[in-house]
Structure 1
Amino acid sequence: MATASNENSNTVMKSVVSAPLHLGLFPALDGLSKQYDIETVERLKEAFTEAEKSVPGFTHELLNGVIQKEVPNELSFTKSLLRMSGQSSQEYALNRKEKEFIKLGEQAHTLKRILSKIPDEMSDRPRFLQTIKNIASAIKDLLSAVNDVFKRYSTRSNRRALDVQKKEFVKCSKAFSDTLKSYFKDGSEVPVYVSANRLIHQANAILLVFKMTSPD
């Protein structure tokens, strides 16, 4: 018989984190509901979700391929994805009333919103430097919120899964910092956008693992 922690772990494994899927493709599919029945649209969502689970990054490549045919520019898609990734998504919403969970959701949204502004602020050096400071503060605040929520979990398997995701976020944060250092040396924008998207991905992953893993 599966324990609650095992069931939570399995649920997390079956879930998928993908901004292109939830913020790019799903809204487009929802628009089809005016022409097709909702059941058909939901089946399409399930099919694309399964494809994303089987091949992580599938939706990113799909949308990139479509956009490249219209606008053959890597920078265009990467910037658009980053701008889009600052939006809220129900897939990562923490539907809990405890203040720790509410704060975690708010801090994650703040970080994603600041990161999504990077494409529009890089050309203004003073503004961009302030944005970098804001990102550093938002990362610190998010980790503090994670630690507060973490205290509600005591089961070893649950804490292990949460701790793994936290470490991945920290690793990604350090990689983002290194990418910024390189940017100020060579001026290459695309790696910054890619790294920012990865950091948003990890923030969403943190939200998802807490959403799918119930406190003890």
Structure 2
Amino acid sequence: LENTDAIAVKPLRDAFTKAESLSPGLTEELVLGVLQRQAVNLDFPEVLLRMTRQNLDDCSIKRPEPEFQDLNNKARSLKLILSKIPDEMSDRTQFLQTIKHTASAIRELLDSVNLVFRKYPNQNNRRALENQKKEFVVHSKSFSDALKTYFKDGKSASVHESASRLVYQTNAILETFKTVG
């Protein structure tokens, strides 16, 4: 649509962005509903992961401080690694390497979040940031569990879904810093 009528796309994109910010997950539910209604058989989380590569900087924090820019870079790196999962699952050696990179990227992102906490303590906003960090950790563990299940049953859908949620949680951390920071 963007290539066909860029002027018509902007208000549509703005409306979806506003709706998504008011009700996170609404856009996904809408798209899934349309796909189900049309009986399209598609691994939607896999598609979302692949699309992540095109939108790595969508949620970036605009603050100039080096700690915030480092946080942006760590988040971007994690999202890029996660976006490659669907392509690398067929090569076990490469996939195992990607899993190691993912674990490192998760640790680095959490270290960066903690550095920002230490450098810019703000008691009013800290609770929201801590809650978002906890959610991220929960989804990181869920991703690890999905990987264990994948190596037992060979079904990739749960890994795609869990990785997609981890991308979402990474974006949510950035959005929380933008909102309260």
Q: TM-score, normalised by structure 2?
A: 0.88
Rg bigger for which structure? 1
Give the aligned partner of residue 32 of structure 1: 5
Structure 2 residue 30 is the aligned partner of structure 1 residue 62: yes
2:86 is the counterpart of 1:135: no
Matched residues in 2 for 1:60 and 1:96: separation? 29
1:159 maps to which residue? 126
User: Counterpart in 1 of 2:71?
Assistant: 104
Q: State the 1:50 CA deviation.
A: 4.2
Aligned residues: 181
> Which residue number in structure 2 is paired with residue 169 of structure 1?
136
The alpha-carbon deviation at position 90 of structure 1 amounts to: 5.2
Q: Which ranges of structure 1 fall in alignment gaps of 5 or more residues?
A: 1-27
Report the RMSD for the aligned CA atoms in angstroms.
2.3
Residue from 30, 42, 51 that aligns with 1:84: 51
> Is 1:197 aligned to residue 164 of structure 2?
yes
Q: How many angstroms apart in 2 are the aligned matches of 1:52 and 1:117?
A: 25
Deviations 1:127-171 (A, max 9, x none): 000000000000011011111111233332211111111111111
1:148 aligns with 2:148: no
CA contact (8 A) 2:56 2:76 kept: no
Give the Å deviation of 1:29. Answer: 5.7
- Contact 1:88–1:109 (CA<8 Å) still a contact in 2? no
Alignment check: 8 A CA contact 1:78 1:194 kept:
yes
* Aligned-partner Cα distance in 1 for 2:151–2:158: 12
TM-score w.r.t. length of structure 1 = 0.75
Deviation at 1:98, TM superposition (A): 1.1
